[in-house]
Structure 1
Amino acid sequence: MSSVSLGWGPKYGSILPAVAFFLALAVLPVANLLFLSFMEISWTGGVMQREFVGTENYRALADDPLLKAGIVNTLILVVVATSCQVALGLALALGCSSLGTSSRTYRTLFILPILIPGIIIGAIWRLMYNFQFGIINQALDVVGIPAIDWLGSPHLALASVIVVDIWHWTPFSFLLLLAAVEGLPKDVSEAAKVDGATAWQEFRRVSLPLLWPAIFMTFVFRAVIAFKVFDEIFLLTSGGPGTATEVISFTIYQRFFLQDNPGYGSAISVTVIFSVALVIAIALQFRSRQDVAR
């Protein structure tokens, strides 16, 4: 039976293989996780054995102290790091846009951190944070401040990781917001200046409202990526000291691979996937309502 007789039409029928391939890549892994989340997995003679346990894995989530610490630390990292990255990215974008063609060198420098592989970033910052010979503590010693255990202190470890995340991912926000800044209508800004508006007034009342959609979407995109943070935690602190830098991704990694508990790890993964999807849906709905209100 042809695609036309099925009601798809040649236009939609031609993209059906691509849609099916995408669904296979996106849906099947999640379906497999959902299936495993209702199982207790064990190994006998190298063969995986499944035992249906219903919602037992999900009920255990509420009593997992490691997961609770991971949720709190992840939310702190997402909110603080993403807010700083968007603010810094916007400031850098405005600065580069004001320089015109002479800003090419600066643009190249600003995007360098995002081009560096994560393993190298971990090595660089681990050396910089080193208690005994790190360059940060050496600089503090010059001004008479005692050495600080940046990654070993429960009170400073998460903040130290957040600093690395801000340094690494600010270029992402910068690139997105630079495109938005350079797309601003010049005549509106020039009209505001002709009317006597100061630079701050022009930015707050003209540029910022026009940039708000781009700022909002940049925050959402970056927050989703920050929610999945793993490499920086793994390379710098491994979730320690204690649970000071435990994040959800690292908790899932520990449950899946270090503790060999894929059923419970799947339950965490499914919960996280649907929670993030729900937050994104709410954020997009909020954004669409704002557009309608305007």
Structure 2
Amino acid sequence: MAMLKASRRVKLFTVLPALLFLVLLSVLPLANLLALSFAKVTWAEGSATWTWEGLANYRALAEDALFKAGIVNTLILVVSATTLQVGLGLGLALICSRLGRSAKAYRTLFLLPILVPGIIIGAIWKLMYNTQFGVINQLLGLVGLGPFDWLGSSTLALASVIAVDVWHWTPFSFLLLLAAVEALPRDVFEAAQIDGAGSWRTFRRIVLPLLWPAIFTTFVFRAIIAFKVFDEVYLLTGGGPGTSTQVISFTIYQRFFVQDSAGYGAAMSIFVMFLVALVIGVAMTSQKARSR
């Protein structure tokens, strides 16, 4: 019994530094952000003065047109970009799993976009989207189309940002789903082949159900990252034209830093965190109910 208690103490002291580190880096800043969301911050002589505002910052969210546009555009981007990325990632993973010895070269090729820094991606795609000399309009001109103002048109700008996000983050989905594809039991496919099942039937009846937990997990992980999209919007469009590419992270940046409304920006951040946690909670609950 004494040895058991001593073992528990050792485990506690082993985990304690990590817990303290977690509290210092996440819990305390989150608590500070929550407290800030109920206040108005003014600066004078290099020091900040907090004035209690209660729920005023949260009530102001309902009347903020920029915030509403940011929520709508973010949801559109998250759903469309994540769906495309998971779909393309799954397709690439299935193809790569059948390439044999040459698979390593293709894996490296498929992973290249995720290794490129965001600032470089913004510069490259801004040049590619350029109305006058961009390579995309030049290629379309060969077949008699365009030129299109990809980043300056309110109807095309968000789709253009989504395309960049899909190109950048599809390798993330590919990497996760490739591991799941390679872990599939081979004997199941051999039995299906003996029974005469075709490729489409095998995929629909065997591959997809077996891969569904990995697909769902990849979708959730990627959706969380997509909700925080900032660099593509900041570098390509700056939220414009108008509010067509205004996403919530860029709205928070504008309120918090550009307009120096720290309390209001904090309230916006807390609301978005709650919204994301709610969506993830609902998705995880539905997934558990489906797996039963």
TM-score (norm 2): 0.96
Aligned AA (1:151): L
Counterparts of 1:248-259 in structure 2 under 5 Å? 248-259=248-259
- The C-alpha deviation readout for 1:188-247, integer Å capped at 9, x for no partner, is 011001000001111110111000000000000000000000000000000000000000
Secondary structure of 2:99's counterpart equals helix
Residue 146 of structure 1, CA deviation = 2.9
Show the counterpart of 1:9. Answer: 9
Whole-angstrom CA distance in 1 between matches of 2:251 and 2:226 = 15
- The C-alpha deviation readout for 1:15-50, integer Å capped at 9, x for no partner, is 112112112211111111101111111112222111
Aligned AA (1:288): K
Whole-angstrom CA distance in 2 between matches of 1:271 and 1:146 = 41
Show the counterpart of 1:29. Answer: 29
Show the counterpart of 1:99. Answer: 99
> Which ranges of structure 1 fall in alignment gaps of 5 or more residues?
none
Whole-angstrom CA distance in 2 between matches of 1:140 and 1:87 = 26
Counterparts of 1:54-203 in structure 2 under 5 Å? 54-203=54-203
User: In the alignment, is residue 45 of structure 1 matched against residue 45 of structure 2?
Assistant: yes
Whole-angstrom CA distance in 1 between matches of 2:5 and 2:114 = 49
> Cα RMSD over matched residues?
1.4
Residue 167 of structure 1, CA deviation = 0.3
- The C-alpha deviation readout for 1:146-188, integer Å capped at 9, x for no partner, is 3100000000000000000000000000000000000000000
Residue 12 of structure 1, CA deviation = 2.4
Whole-angstrom CA distance in 1 between matches of 2:11 and 2:47 = 46
Whole-angstrom CA distance in 2 between matches of 1:70 and 1:229 = 11
Residue 13 of structure 1, CA deviation = 2.9
Whole-angstrom CA distance in 2 between matches of 1:178 and 1:73 = 30
Whole-angstrom CA distance in 2 between matches of 1:153 and 1:195 = 54
Residue 257 of structure 1, CA deviation = 0.7
Whole-angstrom CA distance in 1 between matches of 2:56 and 2:48 = 19
Show the counterpart of 1:271. Answer: 271
Show the counterpart of 1:229. Answer: 229
Residue 105 of structure 1, CA deviation = 1.0
- The C-alpha deviation readout for 1:39-92, integer Å capped at 9, x for no partner, is 111112222111101110000000000000000000000000000000000000
- The C-alpha deviation readout for 1:108-142, integer Å capped at 9, x for no partner, is 11000000000000000000000111011111222
Show the counterpart of 1:213. Answer: 213
Residue 11 of structure 1, CA deviation = 1.5
Task: Quickly say closer, same or farther: Cα 1:19–1:236, change in 2 above 3 A.
Answer: same
Show the counterpart of 2:289. Answer: 289
Whole-angstrom CA distance in 1 between matches of 2:269 and 2:15 = 30
> Which ranges of structure 2 fall in alignment gaps of 5 or more residues?
none
Whole-angstrom CA distance in 1 between matches of 2:207 and 2:252 = 42
Whole-angstrom CA distance in 1 between matches of 2:250 and 2:116 = 22
Aligned AA (2:289): R
Aligned AA (2:49): Q
Equivalent residues, number? 289
Secondary structure of 1:245's counterpart equals coil
Secondary structure of 1:98's counterpart equals coil
Identical counterparts, % of pairs = 65
Secondary structure of 1:130's counterpart equals coil
Show the counterpart of 2:204. Answer: 204
